[in-house]
Chain A
Amino acid sequence: MMGLRRSAACSVLVLALTAWLATAFAEVGPRQTLAANLAAGKPTVLIVSRTPTRADLRSEAYADWASYLNDFAEEHRRDFQFVKIKPAELKAIFAEHTPIKEPFATVFFRNAQTAVYYDGMIHDRSTYGAAASFLSGSETVPPGLSPALKSFRFRLPRS
């Protein structure tokens, strides 16, 4: 009888330990990072990018996109958070379909309620300038901020 009790207690302990370890060492994915950033009020730039192909790495359009985006990140690393995902991960991050159709896109989250997006590769410095103003400035998307940036309606899934 004592042996059975001991064995049951051991099993419970092992299960509890396993659950604790799973929680403690669970990989923090982009979904969790984005949710945590927004909950903490940190403006976040979500970069949607497929793994660049050999052709991408030799294309001028990709070269310009990567260069301006890396410059923007370099300039604003202290102001904004940057999270990168693959297009296939969009479904896991948002509770509803997003308007993003391109393999390269950027969503600028001012907070948990407000965001703007660009579906495609941004090649204009002025668009990044408008995005930076949006992220660090007004609570809502000012009309005419940049015709290139569109309002992004989103809902994060309940964790």
Chain B
Amino acid sequence: MPAPDKTFTDFALRRGDNDKLKRWGGTISTETGTPVQDLQTVLKAVGVYDVAVDGDFGGQTETAVKRFQWNVRTVKSRLVHGALEARAPSTTIKVNGIGDAATATELSAWGAAGAETTGNLSRANAASFAQFQNEAKKIDNPTIGNDDLIVDAGFLAHLAALNAAAAGAHVKLLINQAFRIAGAPVGGAVVTPATKSQHLIGHAIDCNILDGAKLINSDAFKHGTQTAAAKAFVNAAKAAGLRWGGDFGTPDFVHFDDFVNPDGEEYLMRYFFNQRTIFKKQPIPAAA
């Protein structure tokens, strides 16, 4: 009786492995099977691999493995047959791009469950923040309500900090935008959209300050005619750890973010999963 074909759980698959060469786990094997193809097939099923299943573990497969590893370490939900399912992030899996035992076991379980990765976005109801007034354009997604603010789950604490800063300064905030969809609007762009922004991963918010009946717009800050309360709010927000656009080389007085390095892995992962969530109209969990 011939030995059963090997699959991706049998090797710590890595970059350079190739089914045709029978190179698996970094060494040439005499076994049979298509472990790299099997791995790519499951990576595709869980939504992290978008190119051809070809049995060649190259850079795209490595990136896909890293995406899966990052997702299982970070995101507190996944989709099972399209429905959100809460989960506890893994603390044992490392983001190393290798289909090691822990990764392969987790991936195999996801495949068996028919599970798919989703982003790290969260719906925060603006009404739950006493100082907020939501003026943001609604994002097209069946789970997003009219008064929902969409941010990365990692930015939720900053929404609370902004609300507290506004309460302390006795001002209201008109929220103009939080998460932003990448690229041009449906009808086309009149100017080239930016390629990098904290909004694209859900780690920024734009707002105008309302001091009583007075709207403090960018020109008020530009000309130094902002009110004392508006200044106090900005100082409190900065003290809470937020970056203010008014301090940028090209000022952006409406902007607050917590700066995730746009060239780092955290940014790239959040960009991939959060933009994909919106593109695929995946359900977004409400903030806890």
Contact = CB atoms under 8 A, between A and B. Distances in A.
A32 interface: no
Given A58-B196, A60-B204, A64-B252, A148 B217 contact: yes
Interface of B: 135, 137, 176-177, 180, 184-187, 189-200, 204, 206, 208, 215, 217-219, 245, 248-255, 257, 262
Contacts of B245: 60-61, 64
A152 interface: no
A63 B191 contact: no
Interface stretch (A33-41, A69-77, A109-117): A69-77
Nearest to B256: A60
Measured as residues with beta carbon below 8 angstroms from the partner, the interface class of chain A is 20 to 34
Contact of A66 (B176, B187, B192): B192
Contacts of B199: 60, 63-64, 67
A60 B252 contact: yes
Contacts, number: 111
Contacts of B252: 60-61, 64, 121, 123
A121 B193 contact: no
Given A60-B255, A63-B194, A65-B191, 7 more contacts: A59-B249, A60-B204, A60-B252, A71-B185, A73-B189, A124-B208, A124-B254
30 contacts: A57-B195, A58-B194, A58-B195, A58-B196, A59-B194, A59-B250, A60-B199, A60-B204, A60-B248, A61-B245, A61-B248, A61-B251, A63-B199, A64-B199, A68-B177, A69-B190, A69-B191, A70-B189, A70-B190, A74-B186, A82-B190, A122-B218, A123-B253, A123-B255, A124-B176, A124-B254, A125-B176, A126-B208, A147-B217, A148-B218
Interface of A: 47, 49, 52, 56-71, 73-74, 77, 82, 84, 121-127, 147-148
